[in-house]
Structure 1
Amino acid sequence: MSAVRKSTNWFALGVTAAAVVIVLVIGGVVWFANSQANSPGTVPESSAVDPDTGAIAVGSGEQTVDTYVDFMCPVCNSFEQAYGPTLQQLADDGTITLNIHPIAILDRQSQGTAFSTRAANAAYCVAVDDPANVTAFVKAMYAQQPSEGTAGLDDAAIATIAKNAGASDAVTSCISDGTYSRFVAAVTEKTPLQAGVSSISTPTIAINGTVLANRTDLTGDPQKDIVERLNG
């Protein structure tokens, strides 16, 4: 009895191969979309910016004070008025490195304009343009801080503040393009939590890596709250 010859079903093989290709393509698209969503985007390239933490360094002292601030946060403004001059002096005299972390947790308070993100993005634009102008920009932003619940400053107004603080015209497009917006979102997630607090809050202050509790550790006296802790 002769053996029955089995023919190859090329149509079925073709359909299977096509299905495998489609699955691989879809998987690749999903992977790419996820990687893009989780990417920090464009990272600010500046000698003053830590690409991992987002800190903008002022000064070069051995001890560190980290401030995590949102430019729409009224308590951050109060902190700047009370502690800013002392922190600046400590940075100027070489006692500390002041690490400013512009973050965005109050976008919901700006009528859909994402003011907090745009303002933090602008701080990085200034740092990339010339980090020497960052502290002047920060002070000027607080001086013109919008109230929570308003639309905040538009990009043109923020760019004017940046240029008045010493930045070049190059910051204008950086601000309007939101060049570092995704980076702002990424570093915001790295903000440490204060003791007893379940979500990120501003201002958050850390001295030599130890996070302070605003309600109990900040009295409004920079000598007691900052200087004495630095001196041990």
Structure 2
Amino acid sequence: MSEKNRDGKRNARERLAAEREKQKAAERRRRTLIVAASVVCVLGLAAVIGIVAANAGKDDDSADAGPVVAPSGAQGKDALAIPVGKDDAKSTLTVWEDFRCPACKAFEAAYRPTIHELTESGQLRVEYHLVTLIDGNMGGSGSRNAANAAACAQNAGKFPAYHDVLFENQPEETDDAFAENDKLIELAGKVDGLDTPEFRTCVEKGTHNSWVAKSNQAFQDGRFGGTPTVLFNGKNIYQDQSMTPAKLKQMVEEANQG
């Protein structure tokens, strides 16, 4: 083989080796860019999730910047609980609810007959706390306005009946129908003696809006997982997958026997 041919083959091998090294370097750069881009995407997604989580359940309380007026008979810390049942009942059920919340409606539909039976017999006392979680998550003011109207109903001694009417007539979660005072007043017509000038004025003026905002803040401060949150004598029972109305009734009866 001539010297010229040997030099040509050597140069070809060197060029091939150089090209392979160039491709490897390009591949390393490509992988580096992919990893870097993936990290940026993950960090960006984490930031978005963090922002969403930070704002979940928050709503604009600027319209509630007035005096905190608790409804008649409200009890507990800062008078944020609306009580139903006898004060001397041995068992207490604490319920955090949002009138726009579908899960709250499902809870009420399943447990309402049992809760009514136990409160009316004097075995159970229920403390209702009103929340505006859906307003914060979905936008609107239906949770707040419905809660204010329920507080107005409490002033008239009609809270339990109106509470039930609101859940029975709950709109779709994305439908902010309860933001309309006319709708809330219309539903008051389903409760005997509730649709009065005093009730209408209370609803239209948002008399208890600041109280509702304070109740919602207490819910946020309590770091509860969501609505409904249901505590039996301080223990969260809504998270108990085995809980049923019958089991709740048994727990109340056993507490009364003790």
TM (norm. structure 2) is 0.65
- Per the TM alignment, residue 98 of structure 1 is displaced from its structure 2 partner at its CA by 1.2
2-side partners of 1:200 and 1:186: how far apart?
Answer: 18
Other structure's SS at 1:139 match: helix
- Report what 1:54 is aligned to: 80
- Report what 1:156 is aligned to: 182
2-side partners of 1:186 and 1:203: how far apart?
Answer: 18
Query: 1:193·1:201 contact (CA, 8 Å) conserved in 2?
Result: no
**Quick check: which one's helix share is greater?**
2
Count residues with an aligned counterpart.
188
- Report what 1:140 is aligned to: 165
- Per the TM alignment, residue 221 of structure 1 is displaced from its structure 2 partner at its CA by 1.8
Query: 2:71·2:208 contact (CA, 8 Å) conserved in 1?
Result: no
Other structure's SS at 1:82 match: helix
1-side partners of 2:185 and 2:224: how far apart?
Answer: 31
2-side partners of 1:201 and 1:139: how far apart?
Answer: 20
For residues 57-96 of structure 1, the aligned pairs below 5 Å read 57-60=83-86, 61-96=89-124
Q: Tell me, which stretches of 5 or more residues in structure 2 are unaligned?
A: 1-61
- Per the TM alignment, residue 169 of structure 1 is displaced from its structure 2 partner at its CA by 2.7
- Per the TM alignment, residue 200 of structure 1 is displaced from its structure 2 partner at its CA by 4.6
Q: Tell me, which stretches of 5 or more residues in structure 1 are unaligned?
A: 1-35
Other structure's SS at 2:128 match: strand
Q: Of 41, 45, 59, which aligns to 2:67?
A: 41
Cα–Cα, structure 1 residues 85 and 79, in superposed 2: closer, same or farther, change >3 Å? same
Further displaced range: 201-210 or 38-47: 38-47
1:223 is the counterpart of 2:246 = yes
TM (norm. structure 1) is 0.72
Cα displacement string for residues 123-154 of structure 1 (whole angstroms, at most 9, x for unaligned residues): 111101x22x1111011111110111122231
- Report what 1:28 is aligned to: none
The structure whose Rg is larger is 2
1-side partners of 2:242 and 2:181: how far apart?
Answer: 35
Cα–Cα, structure 1 residues 161 and 220, in superposed 2: closer, same or farther, change >3 Å? farther
Cα–Cα, structure 1 residues 159 and 146, in superposed 2: closer, same or farther, change >3 Å? same
Other structure's SS at 1:170 match: helix
- Per the TM alignment, residue 192 of structure 1 is displaced from its structure 2 partner at its CA by 7.6
User: Which residue identity lines up with residue 175 of structure 1 in the other structure?
Assistant: V
Q: CA RMSD in A?
A: 2.6
- Per the TM alignment, residue 210 of structure 1 is displaced from its structure 2 partner at its CA by 1.8
Q: Of 125, 129, 133, which aligns to 2:152?
A: 125
For residues 157-172 of structure 1, the aligned pairs below 5 Å read 157-166=183-192, 167=194, 168-172=196-200
Cα displacement string for residues 155-177 of structure 1 (whole angstroms, at most 9, x for unaligned residues): 11101222431313311111111
